Each structure stands twice: as structure tokens, then as C-alpha cells.
Amino acid sequence: GAVVSQHPSWVICKSGTSVKIECRSLDFQATTMFWYRQFPKQSLMLMATSNEGSKATYEQGVEKDKFLINHASLTLSTLTVTSAHPEDSSFYICSALNPPPHVVGYTFGSGTRLTVV
């Protein structure tokens, strides 16, 4: 079945540094990638949607200059948290889609636990 590999699984970084999270679709073309943030005991909060070769569309309240999303190929999308601060600590999850949803569906990465100290 469809697999999305997300790396790293966890990362600890110092405040002010940048962190890159990668999501790779291993056996299908991820035309669309969704990036979510999840707080403890809460649902997924959509941060942005990116289509291969296009600029990402960010949800209201998400700083596009802080959360840089690149989707340059059909198999790789990256989220870079720039100048990270402790409040950026969270669980980040990607989800890949090759539309329409009823063919392959949505495939989620295993998530990245970011801790900013």
C-alpha cells in the first residue's frame, strides 16, 4: 500500500535555530501534501496545503515565513521551522494525496516530535 516516510521522528533544537522535516511518498506520486500540527490530546490542525510545483496555501494564522513549505517534486515535501522558539514545540504530521481521494486516499507520515529548548 501507499507509504509516506517522515523524518526525523523526533528532534530537539535550540531556540533560534531552524529545523527541517521531510516527507517522502515511497510508492506513489504525492500531488498534494497537507501539513498538520497536533497539540497533546487534541485533533489535527491544518497548517498548509501544498501542490507539487506550486506555492503552499497557508491556513489563517499560520506564519508562512516561519513555516516554510517546499514541494518541489512529486515524492518529497519539506517543512522548515525557522528561528524556532519553545512555543513551536509540537507534533507535526504530513499527509500525502494523489487526487482524487477515492483512488489512493490520504496517507499519513508517522509524525515528528519537535522540542525547542
Partner 1 sequence: AQSVTQPDIHITVSEGASLELRCNYSYGATPYLFWYVQSPGQGLQLLLKYFSGDTLVQGIKGFEAEFKRSQSSFNLRKPSVHWSDAAEYFCAVVAPTGGSYIPTFGRGTSLIVHP
Task: Tell which one of 25, 37, 49, 88 touches partner 1 (CB under 8 A).
Answer: 49
Task: Tell which one of 25, 32, 75, 90 touches partner 1 (CB under 8 A).
Answer: 32
- The CA distance from 29 to 52, in Å, is 10
Percent of the chain that is helix, strand, coil (3-state, to 5): 5, 50, 45
101 contacts partner 1 (rule: CB under 8 A): yes
Q: Which of 12, 116, 25 is nearest to 78 (CA)?
A: 25
- Among positions 59-78, residues that touch partner 1 (CB under 8 A) are none
How many residues form the binding site for partner 1 (CB under 8 A)?
A: 26
